[in-house]
Amino acid sequence: MASIECPKCKEVIETTGLVTVCPKCGADMSGVMEELSHTEGAHGGFARDESMTTHEFIVRTKGLTKIYVMGEVQVPALQSVDLEIRRGEYLSIMGPSGSGKSTLFNLVGGLDKPTAGSCYIEEVDMAQLDAFELAWLRCRKIGYIFQTFNLIPVMTAMENVTLPMIFAGMTSDEMLERGAMLLDIVGLGDRLHHKPYELSGGQQQRVAVARSLANSPAIILADEPTGNLDLQTGKEIIDLLKRLNRESETTVISATHDLKMIDVSDRIVHIRDGAIERIDDRADIDLEIGSMDGEEE
Ligand SMILES: Nc1ncnc2c1ncn2[C@@H]1O[C@H](COP(=O)(O)OP(=O)(O)OP(=O)(O)O)[C@@H](O)[C@H]1O
Ligand SMILES: [Mg+2]
């Protein structure tokens, strides 16, 4: 249980989860929650797993399982996955088609619920959150990039990028300034008012990268971000994600078939048939790259 104080009416609220607005005066509580999420241990419970005392892991899954039920048929997509991801890590998830990568993403990103097991974001158990709290977490903590870009076709690059900022309650001046800054970072400072169909595939994915950064997320979940791009453009997107990861300590978790991702990853999780087959760390990755260089010669 945590005690938090409304910045406006000073009402003290006892909570075991996230609070988006003050129940008394309706003031935005996101700043207070943000502070609380960075204060380790000081507030006791707060839907945390008590066995953890620090936030060493930004994402932690325990026995995460997803079984899709289709009439009589059960499809085991994810089978008891235990995974611990450190803050600031660049993690690639590799595996054949159908191995469960997108399923894992949907569960970690709070877009779907597991059949069994738990997923903790900064030690907050996602299953303990109500719909509003989950929406707050998704909006503030996680940026999403999808294989098919998923931009809104009738909106310009600027409007697509600033959309998540509306949900976070930013003013329109702040949104325009930040939207232009983010589009500039991804190299589209001169394409602010282009709609998706007026942009190339690589440019659309760069808009999606800028949109994922709208609310300065702690985690970027990228599901095959280079899947629909040519080699060179794919490399540009990977370099961009790596730069963000290095410069702002954003944790990047990326599902991929793309071998170019190997080089920039801190660890690679190989999954097969919904289970972790093995995890390669940096030393293993260097060895793999070495052997690939050998093959080329
Ligand atoms: N909504 C669903 N209903 C039923 N089965 C599903 C559903 N979504 C995925 N599956 C099944 O779950 C398994 C894992 O699918 P998932 O999309 O996670 O694979 P993936 O590793 O992302 O594959 P790809 O590389 O092709 O994107 C597959 O066998 C798939 O057919
Ligand atoms: Mg997939």
Tell me the pLDDT tens digit for each residue of 38-71: 553 333 323 434 444 457 899 999 999 999 999 9
Provide the pLDDT for residue 190: 97
What's the pLDDT tens digit per position in 215-253? 999 999 999 998 888 888 888 889 989 999 999 889 999
CA 105 to ligand 1: nearest atom: 18
Of 93-97, 148-152, 235-239, least confident by mean pLDDT is 235-239
Residue nearest to atom 28 of ligand 1 (CA): 98
- CATH classification for the domain delimited by 87-111+126-296, as one of 3.40.50.1100, 3.30.1320.10, 3.40.1160.10, 3.40.50.300: 3.40.50.300
For a ligand 1 pocket test, name from 65, 68, 81, 253 the mutation site with the most ligand atoms within 8 angstroms of its C-beta.
68
Least confident span in 14-23, 112-121, 201-210, 253-262:
14-23
What CA–CA distance (Å, rounded) separates 123 from 54?
9
Global pTM value: 0.81
In angstroms, the CA 273 to CA 46 distance is: 34
Q: Determine how β-strand 2-5 pairs with β-strand 12-15.
A: antiparallel
Residue 15 banded pLDDT, cuts 50, 70, 90: low
User: What is 77-92 written as a DSSP string?
Assistant: EEEEEEEEEETT-EEE
Ligand 1: residues with CB < 6 A are 68, 70, 75, 77, 95, 97-103
Closest Cα to residue 38, out of 51, 55, 52?
55
Lowest mean pLDDT among 155-164, 243-252, 258-267: 258-267
Q: Which residue's CA is the closest to the ligand 1 atom numbered 2? A: 68
Under a CB-based contact definition with an 8 Å cutoff, are residues 151 and 228 in contact?
no
Return the ligand number nearest the Cα of 70.
Answer: 1
d(CA 77, CA 273): 7
Rounded to an integer, what distance in angstroms lies between the CA atom of residue 104 and that of residue 6?
A: 36
Whole-number Å distance, alpha carbon 222 to ligand 2 midpoint, is 10
Tell me how far apart the alpha carbons of residues 90 and 241 are, in angstroms, rounded to a whole number.
9
| Mutation to probe ligand 1, out of 103, 108, 276 (largest number of atoms < 8 A from CB) | 103
Asked whether the predicted pLDDT for residue 147 surpasses 60, the reply is yes
Q: Is 226 left (phi over 0), alpha (psi -120 to 50) or beta?
A: alpha
Distance 66 CA to ligand 2 centre (A): 14
Per-residue confidence (pLDDT) for residue 32, from 0 to 100: 75
Ligand number nearest to the C-alpha of 99: 1
Looking at ligand 1, which atom is closest to the CA of residue 257? 25
From 69, 70, 74, 75, mutation site for ligand 1 pocket: most ligand atoms within 8 A of C-beta? 75
The beta-strand segments (E) located in 190-274 are 219-223, 251-256, 267-272
How high is the pLDDT of residue 284?
Answer: 82
State the ligand closest to the CA atom of 78: 1
**Helix residue spans in 249-274 (DSSP H):** 260-264
Give the mean pLDDT of 124-131: 94
Given this model, what pLDDT does residue 9 score?
87
* pLDDT for 233: 85
Q: What is the pLDDT of residue 17?
A: 60
Sorted by where each begins, the domain ranges of the chain are 2-38, 87-111+126-296
Is residue 21 left, alpha or beta, with left meaning phi > 0 and alpha meaning psi from -120 to 50?
A: beta
Cβ neighbours of 27 (radius 10 Å): 15
State the average pLDDT for the chain: 87
